[in-house]
Structure 1
């Protein structure tokens, strides 16, 4: 693909299916892409009523330190200033503001270190790599924080391109409202500010009429997070949706912001050009390799299984049906009564060496047989077995 970035990955957003990767498991500093985890936990806190968007959030000494260092944060804020949680979230999502991220973390957890512990715990829950590690809300290096560097958390923030894609996957899947923020191209932080915050994501569809950024614009792109430090290089986790297909791309350690955007275009183009969604299994259909499933103590002795849900995969365009290997297996020791929709087995679809389970359920209600029916069935089975033994 000829990427400038040292690491990259492309993922389908609804399933997490990986379509392309380059050194995707190589841990690297992510710079401000670490803020995606901060955003996830802030949105979680709003959803769980731990904070409200209208809450007044004070600016601490630490937040003010970052806010008034133009190399570390974009929006000047003084200690003791108060802003709503939502205004600070706008600053994080649009302008990657580090001081705002700290203020929100302190409001939610009491301190940035406690919030960062939540970030690391969430990384485990999300299934990130064992190397994934956060030391703050911003992705800044320890040396940037001076006296405010964490004392209870060692090391530096680091994770892989696959980790970044997984964070984005959970962020979009569980808090799709993030895209309402990440897609904003510009907004004033304070109504009295002379200039608005300009989103560092120049690829946003909303920039199509901006003469400065239009050459970078990617149709359908509405997020998600840029990042840059000297150690990290230029990083970008992007997401776009076209014709109902949302993709997540990550590039890390490009040598310029422009290169990170050009690489993102290449990765996304690869996905939209070469892949399509294909319904591999339809919901409510019978299974060719498992026409019936036996069960005990019912009026009937067999039932017809059907798929509980459908399975749609992102596949190479023109993929043949023979590329999808389907195997079905019934649950053992099923006993009546069995209700329609009750799980009775599993079908496994294998494509490109990855397996996808599909639950099989009963297509009918199966009632329990009366004791006399079961008695005569048992007697019949006994004599049938004896006859078969004698014939042998």
Structure 2
């Protein structure tokens, strides 16, 4: 009997183990495949990124190459400072602020909790705009960020109002700013809008990279240690032993962020050759995980896509070679595209790209003299992804290829007489 019982017990154990294994197969991926900060579940996606939300775009065109839950707004933590950084750059560009302006630190900026990222400003300290900007861009210093905001708008609340005004004007529909630093979980934005803001910064203010690429910065001579850039993925970090595992060739920006409600976030950008990508990952599980997940996006991007130019700049579009004008020496002027039409397409594929729309200004809106390179219309091309079936439209301007001079009064008079008799003849023909 003992000999019979033992095999029965073994079979029971095997059966139970198989049952558990089957349960893990069925339910396991949902619980262990991907988790974010504080064991929050990540959003299922084809790249197996452990994120709640993410997006990858090509910087020049803004074309979306990958996204998961990208339209949903979440707390963005210190990625909020991208807007603060943008506004300061705008102030400098418009000469309302200068890099060399000296700012005296206020009590309001000094009032920063010890747990926050900061450079420990004291009331009465004097620092230039540039010094404070570096502390914000490199070390995500909340006190430096507050001081810059106060300098621009007079108070933190006034600057928050300015942030929301800029967000509206820039078309960041999901953005709600309640602080200049992102410390509050009520400051939210979608990954798609964060990427859009990052792209605007890159295109409008390339000088941003003068700051985002700094590996470290000694804020005061008496400081024991420099501020270390919180973007561990900087390509230059390949020479830093502690950060080398995260260094990614071509990465030169942009902004990290963390609060408990947001998890570990990162807005990054990378450029190799003539291709630049912008990425956002939100709610990863750890400080380092945000860089690991971002690297997956960049590996996917460079391994999967290539540029496909449909038309080079200054191309003539068939059937749109000229546009009619009034009062010119000639009745028409030649037109061309103002820039190239380029899509990111899957490598090794023959993409389906077609002209889907065209629009020209009416003749009575184009009165000579007209300068060369004057916008007179648009053309739109569409690329349809063969795998997803998702259409992507790209619109460029049509511009005059040469100057259109105004005709003299005598020529205009003869033309008017000719038009009169031509119209009269046509009216007579229409009577019969």
Q: TM-score range by the shorter chain?
A: 0.7 to 0.9
Indicate the RMSD between aligned Cα atoms, in angstroms: 2.7
Match of 1:356 in 2: 395
Q: Cα–Cα, structure 1 residues 280 and 55, in superposed 2: closer, same or farther, change >3 Å?
A: same
C-alpha deviation, 1:366, in angstroms: 7.0
1:376 CA displacement:
4.2
CA contact (8 A) 1:347 1:360 kept: no
Instruction: Give distance in 1, aligned partners of 2:327 and 2:98.
Output: 56
2:338 aligned counterpart, secondary structure: coil
Higher relative contact order (CA 8 A, sep 6+): 1
Mean CA deviation greater in 208-217 or 39-48: 39-48
Give the deviation of 1:232 after TM superposition: 0.6
Deviates more, 1:78-87 or 1:328-337: 328-337
Q: CA deviation at 1:78?
A: 2.8
Label 1:385 to 1:292 Cα distance change in 2 as closer, same or farther (>3 A).
farther
* 1:128 has 2:128 as partner: no
Q: Is the 8 A contact 1:10 1:18 kept in 2?
A: yes
1:168-317 alignment, distance < 5 Å: 168-291=198-321, 293=323, 303=332, 305-316=334-345, 317=347
Q: Conserved in 2, the CA contact under 8 Å of 1:64 and 1:77?
A: yes
Cα distance, 1:133–1:376 mapped onto 2, change above 3 Å: closer
Give the secondary structure class of the aligned counterpart of 2:182: coil
Is 1:37 the counterpart of 2:79? The answer is no
- Contact 1:304-1:363 at 8 Å conserved across structures: yes
Is the contact made by 2:132 and 2:144 (CA closer than 8 Å) also made in structure 1? yes
Aligned-partner SS, 2:73:
coil
Greater Cα offset, 314-323 or 83-92: 314-323
Secondary structure of 1:215's counterpart equals helix
Q: Deviations over 1:291-343 (max 9, x none)?
A: 55556777766x46431412232320356474232544444345775647455
1: distance between equivalents of 2:103 and 2:277?
34
Work out the CA distance in 1 between the residues paired with 2:128 and 2:71: 38
* In 1: Cα distance, 2:182 partner to 2:275 partner: 30
Aligned mates of 2:97, 2:344 — CA distance in 1: 42
Contact kept in structure 2, 1:64 and 1:78, CA below 8 Å: yes
**Secondary structure at the counterpart of residue 91 of structure 1:** helix
Residue deviations 1:368-387, cap 9 Å, x none?
A: 54534543454356446755
Q: Is residue 138 of structure 1 aligned with residue 181 of structure 2?
A: yes
Q: Secondary structure at the match of 1:323?
A: strand
Q: Deviations over 1:243-291 (max 9, x none)?
A: 0222111111111122211111111222222223333223333321335
Considering only CA atoms, is the larger Rg found in Structure 1 or Structure 2?
Answer: 2
Q: Counterparts of 1:113 and 1:373 in 2: how far apart (Å)?
A: 63
For the residues of structure 2 that align with 1:274 and 1:174, how far apart are their CA atoms?
28
Which stretches in structure 1 are left out of the alignment for 5+ residues?
143-155
Partner Cα distance (1:30, 1:125) in 2: 20
TM-score (norm 2): 0.78
* Residue 118 (structure 1) shift: 1.0
Count of residues in correspondence between the two structures: 373
Q: Which moved more, 1:276-285 or 1:380-389?
A: 380-389
- Is 1:75 the equivalent of 2:119? yes
Residue 56 (structure 1) aligns with: 102
SS of 1:180's equivalent in the other structure is: helix
- Residues 181 and 300 of structure 1: CA distance in aligned 2, closer, same or farther (over 3 Å): closer
Distance 1:36 1:194 in 2: 28
